[in-house]
């Protein structure tokens, strides 16, 4: 049973709304896809992160391209 409370409207958070947002990495000067998690009652931003689905897809694509080369090197 959820017990988290929105810091703005003080509603008990049963679910959140995910909205796309751009995240700027200051160190690498890169823009990445991100998501913000919103209170479904008042739309207050509860948290922001790099989009975990985009991140896992990037990792999957890297593995698809790099893993065969890594396995070839391991065999030789």
| Residues 33, 52: Cα–Cα separation, whole Å | 9
- Binding to Zn ion (CB under 5 A) within 49-68 occurs at none
Tell me which of 9, 45, 53, 59 binds Zn ion, using CB under 5 A. Answer: 9
Contact between 44 and Zn ion per CB under 5 A: yes
All residues at 6 or more sequence positions from 31 whose CB lies less than 8 Å from its CB, including other chains: 22, 23, 24, 25
Tell me which of 6, 34, 35, 38 binds Zn ion, using CB under 5 A. Answer: 6
Contact 20, 34 (CB under 8 A): yes
Tell me which of 32, 36, 41, 58 binds Zn ion, using CB under 5 A. Answer: 41
């Amino acid at each position: 049973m959820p017990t988290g409370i929105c810091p703005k409207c003080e509603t008990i958070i049963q679910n959140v709304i995910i909205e796309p947002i751009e995240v700027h990495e200051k160190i690498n000067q890169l823009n990445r896809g991100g998501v913000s998690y919103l209170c479904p009652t008042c739309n207050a931003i509860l948290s922001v992160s790099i989009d975990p689905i985009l991140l896992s897809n990037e990792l999957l694509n890297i593995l698809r391209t790099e893993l065969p080369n890594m396995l070839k090197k391991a065999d030789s």
